[in-house]
C-alpha cells in the first residue's frame, strides 16, 4: 500500500457496508486508513456473523459496531457507541444495497411488493435514517462529508437491475434533499455512481457479467476498480472538495457520456457480418 497523501489526517468517520475484501466499502476503509483517518466499521448483525470483517477491523484498528440500517433503535445505538469511540465524525460512507427481488430473480413486472419495500428500505431510505440519527445525536461535525454509492440504473434502464434501479433513484434524491438541509453547516452529501464492480452484491445480479463487459467495452477508460473508487471517495471526504454537494458523481471511466466504442463497432460488425455477401 502506498503512503497516501495524508488527506484525511485527523478525520473520523463511520463506514457502512464492508462485507469481504472485494466490497467497495472494504477498499474505501483501507484507503481512508492510508490517508490518516480513524473510523468505526458497521454492518448488519447477520453479515458480521460471517466473521470476515474482524480482519479489516484489526488491519485498520477500527471497532466494529453491528447495525441493521432498517432499524431505528440500532442506528441510534450505533451513533451512541461511535460517540464513545470517536466523539464527533467528519465523514460517513453508505455502501449498502440489497434487493430480495433481484436475489430471487423476480421480473420487474412481477415484483413481490414486500420485497420491493425491503429493497427501498435497505438500499435507499436507510440513508435518510442514518442522516436523521446522525443529526439527532449531533455526531456529524460541521464541514463533514457524506457519500453514498449509487449506480447509473438510477437514470437509465438496466433491466437485470430490476427494482434496484428505483432504489438508486430514491437514494440519489435523498442525497440531494438532505444535502440542501445540511448545507448551511458546510456538510455535503453526494452519491458516487460507480461502474459495475465484481463484489458480492454485484455478482449476485443475474446478467452481471454481461453488464460488466458491456460497460468495460463502452467506457473509454474501462471500468474503474473498487480501489479506484476508494481513492475518489477519499477526495470527497477530504477538505479539497468543500463545496461539492447534492451531486451524483459518475465514477465510470467515461461510460455515462460515451455512445459506442471503436472496439464495440468492430465486434458488432464481426458478429453480424453476412458471410454470404
Ligand X SMILES: NC(=O)c1ccc[n+]([C@@H]2O[C@H](COP(=O)([O-])OP(=O)(O)OC[C@H]3O[C@@H](n4cnc5c(N)ncnc54)[C@H](O)[C@@H]3O)[C@@H](O)[C@H]2O)c1
By CB under 6 A, the residues from 155 to 174 that bind ligand X are: none
Among 116, 151, 178, 212, the active-site one is: 151
Q: How far is the CB of 277 from ligand X (least distance, A)?
A: 40
Catalytic site residue 151?
A: yes
Give the count of residues interacting with ligand X (CB under 6 A): 27
Q: Is 3 annotated as a binding residue?
A: no
Q: DSSP labels for 54-119?
A: HHHHHHHT--EEE--TT-HHHHHHHHHHHHHHHSSEEEEEE-----HHHHTT--GGG--HHHHHHH
Q: Which is nearer to ligand X, 179 or 224 (CB)?
A: 224
Query: At CA 23, angle to CA 17 and CA 25, rounded to 5?
Result: 50
Q: Is 122 in the site for ligand X (CB under 6 A)?
A: yes
Asked if 96 interacts with ligand X (CB under 6 A), we say yes
Give the nearest distance from C-beta 264 to ligand X in angstroms.
20
For residues 33-62, which are near ligand X according to CB under 6 A?
Answer: 43-44, 47
36: left (phi over 0), alpha (psi -120 to 50) or beta: left
The response to whether 57 counts as a known ligand-binding position is no
Query: Is 152 known as a binding-site position?
Result: no
17 is in an annotated binding site: yes
Note if 178 is an active site residue: no
**Does residue 24 interact with ligand X by CB under 6 A?**
yes
Is 253 one of the binding residues for ligand X (CB under 6 A)? no
Interface residue with ligand X, options 13, 144, 202, 224 (CB under 6 A): 202
Q: Which amino acids are annotated as binding site, given as ranges?
A: 17, 23-24, 68-69, 96, 168
List residues near ligand X by CB under 6 A: 17-19, 23-25, 43-44, 47, 68-70, 95-98, 122, 149-151, 194, 196-197, 199-202
Residues identified as active-site? 151, 161
Amino acid at each position: 500500500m502506498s503512503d497516501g497523501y495524508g488527506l484525511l489526517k485527523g478525520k473520523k468517520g463511520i463506514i457502512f457496508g464492508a462485507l469481504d475484501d472485494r466490497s467497495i466499502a472494504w477498499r474505501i476503509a483501507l484507503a481512508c486508513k492510508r490517508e490518516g483517518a480513524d473510523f468505526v466499521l458497521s454492518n448488519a448483525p447477520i453479515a458480521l456473523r460471517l466473521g470476515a470483517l474482524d480482519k479489516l477491523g484489526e488491519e485498520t484498528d477500527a471497532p466494529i459496531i453491528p447495525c441493521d440500517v432498517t432499524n431505528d433503535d440500532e442506528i441510534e445505538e450505533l451513533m451512541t457507541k461511535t460517540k464513545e469511540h470517536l466523539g464527533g465524525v467528519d465523514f460517513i460512507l453508505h455502501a449498502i444495497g440489497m434487493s430480495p427481488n433481484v436475489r430471487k430473480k423476480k421480473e420487474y413486472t412481477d415484483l413481490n411488493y414486500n420485497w420491493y419495500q425491503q429493497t427501498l428500505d435497505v438500499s435507499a431510505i436507510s440513508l435518510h435514517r442514518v442522516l436523521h440519527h446522525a443529526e439527532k445525536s449531533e455526531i456529524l461535525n460541521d464541514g463533514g462529508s457524506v457519500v453514498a454509492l449509487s449506480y447509473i440504473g438510477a437514470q437509465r434502464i438496466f433491466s437485470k437491475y430490476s427494482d434496484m434501479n428505483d432504489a438508486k433513484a430514491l437514494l440519489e434524491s435523498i442525497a440531494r434533499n438532505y444535502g440542501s438541509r445540511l448545507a448551511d453547516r458546510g456538510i455535503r452529501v453526494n452519491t458516487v455512481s460507480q461502474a459495475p464492480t465484481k463484489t458480492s452484491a454485484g455478482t449476485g445480479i443475474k446478467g452481471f457479467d454481461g453488464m460488466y463487459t458491456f460497460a468495460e467495452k463502452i467506457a473509454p477508460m474501462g471500468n474503474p476498480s473498487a480501489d479506484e473508487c476508494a481513492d475518489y471517495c477519499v477526495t470527497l471526504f477530504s477538505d479539497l472538495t468543500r463545496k461539492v454537494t447534492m451531486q451524483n458523481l459518475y465514477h465510470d471511466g467515461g461510460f455515462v457520456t460515451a455512445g459506442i466504442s471503436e472496439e464495440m463497432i468492430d465486434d458488432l460488425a464481426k458478429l453480424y457480418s453476412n458471410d454470404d455477401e
